[in-house]
């Protein structure tokens, strides 16, 4: 159980870093480089650990085909009429270095997000739009990349100011400096207890967020945490009714403000399955923001605070 006064965690580096997310977004997006007049590329290839998130945010508005690669491999047909976007907040991943070098050799257009002076940055070609990353925060890197792609006419506006504002709101609601009784993240962390966390996201970005939240919970607790489609989770919840009651699942739902009928049906089915199995469930609802990426920030940052409180309970902070 968490202590009544959460303020004892306020000086922990984990909570301080989470609390500074809004500031990191503002700082990184205030220092974006100028962009050339490239025109419309034939295709866009996204490279890096967050490539699929970037694709989910980009492909709605992109005027050309968008592909994602997490292993750094480039299609054989990729050439100078194509754009490669490389995100690596470490600046040293071998897959990112390889993709940067190969796309430079093929003279593609490049947008590169990496720390200045890193191997990825040093490998980028002369045609590259280079975004110097100081945050080491993948979400911030994605927002900065989308802001540059928006300037190139290839993406909708990610609205960095709104994303930063939402991050500040999450910190206000989940910081250890606030009352424990009003702290959503602390409430969710305590509800998980010894249960097996199952995380579901309603919609494309929410599903991406659910995977990030489950990953954070696994690191914080040292236990299993699963993010999956509703069909898989409903089956697991129903099967749990005949198993050890001390290891019942606890369901965490990342939901939209106004979901379509299919997503609402999945949410209702999950809640009904949890009620039948006497399993606990909690909801992190979107903020109804004009930017889908701002909702992603809300889900992931709230889930990160949940993981931080779990780490505190398990003595794994730091």
Q: Where in the chain are the domains?
A: 31-158, 162-314
Burial class of 49 by CB neighbour count within 10 A (0 to 12, 13 to 18, 19+): middle
pLDDT for position 142: 95
* Fold topology of 31-158: Rossmann fold (3.40.50)
Q: One fold for both 31-158 and 162-314? A: yes
| Separate counts of helices (H) and strands (E) for the chain | 12, 9
Architecture label for domain 162-314:
3-Layer(aba) Sandwich (3.40)
Q: In this predicted model, what pLDDT tens digit does every residue of 55-78 receive, in sequence order?
A: 998 888 899 999 999 888 999 999
Q: Is the pTM of this model over 0.95?
A: no
Whole-angstrom Cα distance, residue 163 to residue 172? 14
Q: In this predicted model, what pLDDT tens digit does every residue of 86-143 receive, in sequence order?
A: 999 999 999 999 999 999 999 999 999 999 999 999 999 888 999 999 999 999 999 9
Select from 111, 113, 120, 121 the least CA-distant residue to 151: 111
Whole-angstrom Cα distance, residue 179 to residue 81? 55
Q: Which residues of 188-209 are buried (b: 16+ CB within 10 A; e: fewer)?
A: bbbbbeebbbbbbbbbbbbbbb
Q: Does residue 243 register a pLDDT over 80? A: no
Cβ atoms of 295 and 256 closer than 8 Å: yes
Angle in degrees, 0-180, between the axes of helices 261-276 and 230-240, rounded to the nearest 10:
10
Select from 310, 244, 256, 241 the least CA-distant residue to 286: 256
């Amino acid at each position: 159980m968490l202590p009544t006064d959460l303020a004892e965690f306020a000086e922990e580096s984990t909570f301080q870093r989470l609390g500074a997310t809004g500031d990191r977004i503002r700082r990184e997006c205030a220092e974006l480089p100028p962009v050339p007049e490239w025109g419309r590329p034939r295709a866009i290839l996204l490279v890096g650990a967050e490539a699929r998130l970037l694709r989910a945010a980009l492909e709605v508005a992109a005027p050309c085909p968008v592909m994602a690669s997490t292993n750094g491999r480039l299609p054989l047909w990729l050439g100078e009429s194509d754009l490669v976007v490389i995100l690596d907040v470490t600046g040293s991943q071998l897959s990112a270095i390889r993709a940067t070098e190969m796309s430079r050799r093929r003279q593609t257009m490049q947008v590169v997000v990496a720390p200045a002076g890193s191997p990825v940055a040093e490998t980028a070609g002369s045609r590259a739009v280079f975004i110097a990353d100081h945050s080491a925060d993948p979400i911030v890197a994605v927002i900065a990349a989308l802001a540059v792609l928006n300037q190139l006419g290839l993406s909708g506006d990610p609205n960095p100011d709104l994303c930063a504002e939402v991050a500040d709101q999450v910190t206000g609601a989940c910081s250890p400096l606030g009352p424990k009784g009003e702290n959503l993240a602390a409430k969710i962390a305590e509800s998980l207890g010894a249960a097996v966390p199952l995380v579901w996201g309603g919609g494309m970005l929410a599903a991406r967020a659910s995977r990030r939240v489950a990953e954070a919970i696994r690191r914080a607790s040292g236990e299993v945490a699963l993010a999956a489609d509703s069909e898989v989770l409903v089956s697991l919840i129903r099967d749990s009714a005949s198993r050890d009651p001390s290891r019942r699942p606890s369901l965490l739902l990342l939901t939209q403000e106004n979901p379509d009928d299919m997503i609402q049906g999945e949410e209702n089915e999950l809640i009904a399955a949890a009620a039948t199995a006497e399993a606990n469930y909690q909801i992190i609802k979107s903020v109804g923001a004009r930017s889908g990426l701002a909702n992603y920030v809300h889900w992931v940052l709230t889930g990160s605070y949940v993981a931080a409180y779990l780490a505190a309970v398990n003595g794994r902070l730091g």
